[in-house]
Amino acid sequence: METRFISALLFAALLISIMSAQPAPPVPGADKTALLDSALTDMKCKVTFETGFMHAIIARFPDLSSSLSPIIEELQLDVTRLSQYASQKDVLNYSIYVQESFTPHMMTAATAEKSGIEGQRDSGADKNETKAAMESLKSKFDSLKDAQNSCFDAKDHANLVINYYNNSLNMYEARTKNLTDRGFDTSYLLTLVSDARSQILVPLQNGVNSATDSTGVIDVLGQYCLFDGCLDGTNFHMAAKFETKRLTILLEVISPTAVEAGLDRDTPNTSLDHANRMIESWGTSNAGGDQLKATWDNIRSAAKDLHDLFVALGGDTALSD
């Protein structure tokens, strides 16, 4: 049953981690839109499968209507709500809704189906009739699963993720080059981008290319995340690492002048220290929503304070943005 909702949760985690990568999104919103549209298609395919199977159960065992019909209505409402978020290009609320509402509803459906069927099997009804009903449901399940597999292409979705990651790293390289051209020491940032390619992008591409079915593709997607979202895989935390180090580089360069002018450089430094310690504590584990929020609050705070320092010193504020 778990594979019926794990991919939905994974796609949502990937989307929400991308949205957390602020204040400087690495690539244009069109890439996120493509991922959102793909996730929406996956969600609709899942609901079609789940509601279709529940309708088939009710047709065979009408007494289960009271427990399954409300779940069918709930999932159909989920489709409406998520479609609204998608039409508004609201990636953040789409992802939150999938995590907090849609995935639990899918789990409820799977549990209700299983308990309902087991209850009918053990109900003491005519064994031949029960056997025929179970065989019919098994056939319906298989046909619905075949339809779902043809409804959503996991490999196409994986290629969208790979494209997003590649474009993100290209943008990070461009931002690093801009700092290099201005005379900053960007060796750490260049190494960071290189490590992200070798540790995340390359193995993800290889894994997707070698996967023989959608289950294999989804498994690989859950192993390599450039940002966050891999619940049991490797999370690189690229956005948080890059922004924290970029701001640290700028602060180190401007600090002597700021101190000489009697300006506060300790506040942004403290914020960056907090962010760095949090990022280091994650290792390659997935960072939870509260952890990401706290870290990005510190990064944004440091960015604002650093911007104010550049303004006060009459420097190039574009560097701090």
Q: Which residues sit opposite 235 in a β-bridge?
A: 225
**Token digits of residue 170:** 């290209």
pLDDT for residue 74:
97
Residue of 54, 56, 80, 81 lying closest to 69 (CA atoms): 54
Q: What is the rounded average pLDDT of the residues 247-272?
A: 88
**Token digits of residue 68:** 């399954």
Q: What CA–CA distance (Å, rounded) separates 246 from 185? A: 10
pLDDT tens, 303-316? 988 888 888 887 65
**pLDDT, the chain, mean:** 85
| Reported confidence tier of residue 244, pLDDT bands at 50, 70, 90 | very high
| Reported confidence tier of residue 200, pLDDT bands at 50, 70, 90 | very high
pLDDT for residue 18:
52
pLDDT for residue 24:
44
pLDDT higher than 90, residue 80: yes
pLDDT for residue 1:
38
| Reported confidence tier of residue 321, pLDDT bands at 50, 70, 90 | low
Q: What is the rounded average pLDDT of the residues 122-141?
A: 85
For the four alpha carbons of 74, 75, 78 and 79, in that order, the dihedral sign comes to negative
Q: What CA–CA distance (Å, rounded) separates 142 from 22? A: 43
Give every CB contact of residue 276 below 8 A, 6+ residues apart in sequence. Answer: 244, 248
| Reported confidence tier of residue 72, pLDDT bands at 50, 70, 90 | very high
The percentage of the chain sitting over the pLDDT mark of 70, rounded to a whole number, equals 88
The most confident of 199-208, 226-235, 296-305, by mean pLDDT: 199-208
Q: Which residues sit opposite 234 in a β-bridge?
A: 224
Which residue matches tokens 């449901």?
137
pLDDT for residue 254:
86
Listed in sequence order, the DSSP H helices in 20-126 are 29-60, 65-87, 91-97, 103-121
The percentage of the chain sitting over the pLDDT mark of 90, rounded to a whole number, equals 50
pLDDT for residue 319:
54
Q: What is the rounded average pLDDT of the residues 291-308?
A: 89
pLDDT for residue 147:
93
22, 300 Cβ separation under 8 angstroms: yes
pLDDT tens, 263-286? 888 888 999 999 999 999 999 998
Structural domain boundaries in the chain: 3-151, 154-320
Q: What is the rounded average pLDDT of the residues 95-114?
A: 88
Element (H, E) at 267: helix 266-282
Strand, coil or helix: 22: coil
210, 155 Cβ separation under 8 angstroms: no
Which residue matches tokens 């939870």?
288
Q: What is the rounded average pLDDT of the residues 155-170?
A: 90
| Reported confidence tier of residue 15, pLDDT bands at 50, 70, 90 | low
pLDDT for residue 48:
96
Q: How many helices (H) and strands (E) does the chain have?
A: 13, 2
| Reported confidence tier of residue 130, pLDDT bands at 50, 70, 90 | confident
Buried b (16+ CB within 10 A) or exposed e, 291-303: bbeebbebbebbb
Strand, coil or helix: 219: helix
| Reported confidence tier of residue 23, pLDDT bands at 50, 70, 90 | very low
Q: What CA–CA distance (Å, rounded) separates 243 from 251? A: 12
> In sequence order, what E strands does the chain have?
224-225, 234-235
pLDDT higher than 60, residue 320: no
pLDDT for residue 262:
85
pLDDT for residue 228:
83
Farthest CA pair distance, the chain: 90
